[in-house]
Structure 1
Amino acid sequence: MKRTIKATFMAAMVGMSALGAEAADYKQNPFTLVYDGAIAKNEPGKVNIHPVTYRLNGLNIAANVYTPANYDPAKKYPAVVVAHPNGGVKEQVAGLYAQRLAEQGYITVAADAAYQGASEGQPRNVDKPANRIEDIHGMADFISQYAGVDQQRLGLLGICGGGGYSLAAAQTDKRFKALATLSMFNSGRVRRNGYVDSQLETILQRLQQASAARAQESAGGEVLYAGDANLTDEQIAKLPFALYRQGYEYYWKTYAHPNSTFKYTMSSLLDLMRFDATNQIELIDKPLLMIAGSKADSLYMSKEAFPKASGTQDKELFLLDGATHIETYWVPEYVDAAMGKLTTFYARTL
């Protein structure tokens, strides 16, 4: 039972779903992309993908840059940094939205977080807020120097956990002229309180476990992980929240990628549990668009964050009617609706 709770908790942090979709096969795509409509080859005059590697704090970061149709490096284009969900990688939903934005004329970048995906960092799957926020700053560093990018028209899109970290990054990084979130997930709050505040009574107990895990790790012992469980279909069906059920379906089946995992180091909880994406959110003074599904059980996090963003009057909370959290990752109807809103928002603000 404890294993199940641990895993479901991670699934929430990870966030996303895809019930009923046909499973994508990363091996069938030369760039190992698993989202629907993914680029299979670069062609002149079309949106192209460029796998890149850059250094950030001594680590090699793996990223994909998408350039618009008829891209000319001598011209100037607006750019958007896309931050992936917890447990996700650039080949999944972050890549989908990065490609769709490139179709609208933006140069975009989606990178794997340090210690995760194809990026370097040991031990694997460290999941600390400071790292994830630094990843966003690092993407901005890299894409700002990319040929053709107009540094004065830089936007940010954060998805799920990447949305919460984008709220934190944009508080101080004023290079971003506009910020959007999709299905924003406040990782610190969920790690601390449990999903929908369902684990309030075990906060101190879990902090003790995390502290012991760090002590063991620092002494050279085995690195302990949370969220590392393999659930059966029957167990998944019994999970208490749609985010968990659909998240397992999305990440383990329909849009699975070998670099994507639910697990994270137990010691990361020392940092996660004292973090909150809404702390000092009033420092955001740029246009803000928050998109979430009207039926998402994670909607409470966007609703709570929105009024706290008092530093900007140019803000909107836009609901995708009928969508759950994970469905905003892949269901064509909801992706199209989100893209329609993002296209209008960035066209106006960038």
Structure 2
Amino acid sequence: MKSKVIHSVLLAATLGALSGASTAADYKLNPFTLVYEGAITENVTGKVNIRTVRYSLNGIDISANVYTPANYDASKKYPTVVVAHPNGGVKEQVAGLYAQRLAEQGYITIAADAAYQGASGGQPRNVDKPAYRIEDIHGMADFISRYAGVDTARLGLLGICGGGGYSLAAAQTDKRFKSVATVSMFNSGRVRRNGYVDSQLNTIQTRMQQASTARAQEAAGGTVLYSGDANLSDEQIAKLPFDLYRQGYEYYWNTHAHPNSTFKYTTSSLLDLMRFDATHQVELIDQPLLMIAGSKADSLYMTEDAFAKATGTKDKELFTIEGATHIETYWKQPYVNQALEKLTQFYGKSL
């Protein structure tokens, strides 16, 4: 089933007023280095709280934030949601925003930095292999399932951007997740292989050779090579061909910048990324599935493709947010509010 938000005149006017650039959020001004609107600044009794935790996953130290709902009582049982962050993102950005907002609705939530990324351990830095990102999601489920107050019979999964693609892969076999949702899903393998909007089909073999060369150099003890790292001027950013890239640079490098967040990843990771596809065997998902994306997102094709291929569940919905681009679902409050309202309804029924 598909549904689309119908805007009222008042909401349209509100969106028009908010169409400019977002207000910068300074991580240095938040004790938890959170960079999103309405972020927790202190833990207050009786309100939503945040706790920074660390745990080991396959010998790697993982840094995560756990959010607990208002009036949290460890002796009670709460529905719980695991939140997987976007490519290049960290737990203090949009993953934290959605985790906190769900906690405000009564859920225990966890958002963790991927292994080799953010404040988590692992060398070399910024390895971005699908198997690791999927294992990160399983690992969050491992940890949070032992957290006081968590009802493991009501465990849900939310993946944002690249975390959405990896969540689809994780939920195929991890049936601890009773339902799965994505926001602005990004199929990392398809994009690294084919280019964004399938714009680099004629250079696939060349880029795979570059990744192979990078792997050989690492194995020989040479310098680790990186891709995706570029220091672009405002003029160069404005000339980028896609909204996701233009607005992504603005979000990650300006308005919601965090020192642990970076676009770069080891070039050798492409050996794994380019043979991955988030929709491979997606029919194994038999849990309730909700996929959310902006109607103006140039990444919408990836959500639509995955949704169509998810034939293993009869309880699925594609929910489009009218007027929203990919990055705007990360921070623009009218769009975030719509996504959260839908997520709360979805988890309320499926958990």
Please state which band the TM-score falls in when normalised by the shorter chain: over 0.9
Distance 2:230 2:297 in 1: 24
Residue equivalent to 1:7:
none
The percent of aligned pairs where both chains have the same amino acid is: 80
Correspondence for 2:204: 203
Pairwise mapping of residues 146-157 of structure 1 onto structure 2 (< 5 A)?
146-157=147-158
Distance (whole Å) between structure 1 residues aligned to residue 332 and residue 149 of structure 2: 32
* Equivalent position amino acid for 2:284 in 1: L
Q: Measure, in 2, the Cα distance between the counterparts of 1:177 and 1:103.
A: 21
Equivalent residues of 1:118, 1:259 under 8 A apart: yes
Secondary structure of the 1:176 match is coil
State how far apart, in whole Å, the 2-side matches of 1:349 and 1:174 are: 13
1:90 deviates by 0.1
How many angstroms apart in 1 are the aligned matches of 2:342 and 2:273?
A: 31
In structure 2, give the amino acid aligned to 1:187: S
Find the counterpart in structure 2 of residue 190 from structure 1. 191
Q: Deviation digits for residues 192-247 of structure 1, max 9, x if unmatched?
A: 00000000000000000000000000110000000111000000000000000000
Which residue in the other structure is 2:39 paired with? 38
**Paired residue secondary structure (2:166):** helix
Q: Quote the Cα distance in structure 1 between the aligned partners of 2:143 and 2:124.
A: 24
C-alpha distance in structure 1 between counterparts of 2:257 and 2:20, whole Å: 13
In structure 2, the partner of 1:221 is 222
* 1:166 correspondence with 2:157: no
**Structure 2 runs not aligned, ≥5 long:** 1-18
How far residue 164 of structure 1 moved from its aligned partner, in angstroms, is 0.1
Query: TM-score, normalization: structure 2?
Result: 0.94
Q: Distance in 2 between matches of 1:149 and 1:97?
A: 18
| TM-aligned CA deviation for residue 19 of structure 1 | 5.6
Aligned partner of 1:69 in structure 2 is 70
On the 8 A contact 1:67/1:107 being kept in 2, the answer is yes
The answer for the alignment partner of 1:326 in structure 2 is 327
Matched, 1:267 2:268: yes
Matched AA of 1:62: S
- Given that 1:144 and 1:151 are in contact with CA atoms closer than 8 Å, whether structure 2 keeps it comes out as yes
SS in 2 for 1:319: strand
Output the CA distance in 2 between the equivalents of 1:21 and 1:349.
33
CA distance in 2: counterparts of 1:227 and 1:304, whole angstroms:
25
Aligned residue identity for 1:240: P
Post-superposition Cα deviations, 1:115-170, rounded to whole Å, max 9, x if no partner, equal 00000000000000000000000000000000000000000000000000000000
Query: Which residues in structure 2 correspond to 1:73-84 (within 5 Å)?
Result: 73-84=74-85
TM-fit CA distance, 1:23:
1.0
**1:24 counterpart residue number:** 25
Kindly report which structure 2 residues correspond to 1:336-347, keeping only aligned pairs within 5 A, or say none.
336-347=337-348
Rounded Cα–Cα distance in structure 2 between residues aligned with 1:142 and 1:104: 21
Q: Is residue 2:79 matched to residue 1:95?
A: no
The structural deviation recorded for 1:22 is: 1.4
Offset, 1:285: 0.3
What does 1:124-163 correspond to in 2, within 5 Å?
124-163=125-164
TM-score, reference length from structure 1: 0.95
What's the offset of the Cα at 1:307? 1.3
Higher relative contact order (CA 8 A, sep 6+): 1
Q: Any unmatched runs of 5+ in structure 1?
A: 1-17
Q: Please say if residues 19 and 249 of structure 1, whose CA atoms lie closer than 8 Å, have aligned partners that are also in contact.
A: no
